[in-house]
Amino acid sequence: MVADPGAAPGTDRLRPLNGPRPVAVELAADGRPGAIVDRGRRLAVAAVRDRWLVEDEWWREPLGRRYLELLLVDGSVRTLYLDTFTDRWYAQAY
Partner 1 sequence: MPIACVAVPHFALRVAALERPDLDGAPLVLGPPPGARPLVADASPEAAARGIRPGQGLREVTALCPAAVVLPPHPLREAAASRRVADGLALLAPRVEADPDRPGFWYVDLAGSDRLLGPPPLAAERLLATVPPLLRPRAGVALGKFAARVAAGSAKAGAVRALSQEETLAFLADSRVSVLPVRPETVRRMERLGLRTLGDLAALPPAAVAARFGTEGRHLWELARGIDRDPVHPQPEPETVVEELEMPVPATSREMLLIGLARLAGRAFARPSLQDRHVRQARLRALLEGGGSWEQAATLRLPGGRQTVVEALGYRLADLLLPGPVERLTLELVGIVAPGGRQELLPGFRARRPRELVEAARRLKQRYGSSGLYMTVEVEPWSRIPERRLALIAYDL
Where on the chain is the footprint of partner 1 (CB under 8 A)? 3, 9, 11-20, 54, 56, 60, 63, 92-94
Closest contact distance (angstroms) between CB of 85 and partner 1 is 14
Closest contact distance (angstroms) between CB of 28 and partner 1 is 26
Among candidates 47, 40, 32, which has minimal Cα distance to 78? 47
Closest contact distance (angstroms) between CB of 83 and partner 1 is 12
Q: Are 65 and 83 in contact (CB under 8 A)?
A: yes
Q: Which one, 84 or 92, has the nearer CB to partner 1?
A: 92
Q: Give the list of residues 6+ apart from residue 35 with CB closer than 8 angstroms, or none.
A: 25, 26, 42, 43, 44, 45
Q: Which one, 50 or 56, has the nearer CB to partner 1?
A: 56
Q: Are 43 and 36 in contact (CB under 8 A)?
A: yes
